Amino acid sequence: MMGEFMQAVIAKYNYWIYITLMMIGLYAMIAKNNLIKKIVGMNIFQTAIILFYVSIGVKKGGTLPIVEHGHGAHAHAVHAADYLNPLPHVLMLTAIVVSVATLGVALALGVKVYREYQTLEEDEILARIREK
């Protein structure tokens, strides 16, 4: 009973990693007071999702999704079981670059907020807004 449970836990360790990272990111986004820390939390969250997707594409006994002896050997058949699932890789390839671009926009908004209120702490910003 205990052995089965442990086997189930170990067989799915990729999910535990992504859930832990996602909780860290979510907590930082909600609870942190500093806007930059919130942005870092958002990035950790994105990384968790990227890990989740990439780990879904793994196949036991599969190699990189690049067809071996691609040219000149058209005769031999390509078996899907020999290669990792390329689809999550494609989705995450674009997601990584988009996450960098959104990080840039988030930092630009942070700069803008700092210029307006001379602070990045959430409670101080709210206090300044109420003063006006």
Count CA atoms within 13 Å of residue 44 on its CB side: 18
Residue type, position 90, single letter: V
Q: Does 119 bind another protein (CB under 8 A)?
A: no
CB-based contacts of 52, cutoff 8 Å, min separation 6: 14, 15, 18
Binding to another protein by CB under 8 A, coded x per residue (else -) over 66-95, reads xxx-xx--x--xxxxx-x-xxxxxx--xx-
CB of residue 71 to another protein, shortest distance in Å: 7
Binding to another protein by CB under 8 A, coded x per residue (else -) over 26-65, reads xx--xx-----------------------xxxxxxxx-xx
The token duo for 42 is 């958002």
Q: Does 117 bind another protein (CB under 8 A)?
A: no
Within 10 angstroms of residue 72's Cβ, the number of other Cβ atoms is: 6
- Asked if 122 and 33 touch (Cβ cutoff 8 Å), the reply is yes
Q: Which residues bind another protein (CB under 8 A)?
A: 8, 11-16, 19-20, 22-24, 26-27, 30-31, 55-62, 64-68, 70-71, 74, 77-81, 83, 85-90, 93-94, 96-98, 100-102, 104-105, 107-109, 111-112, 115
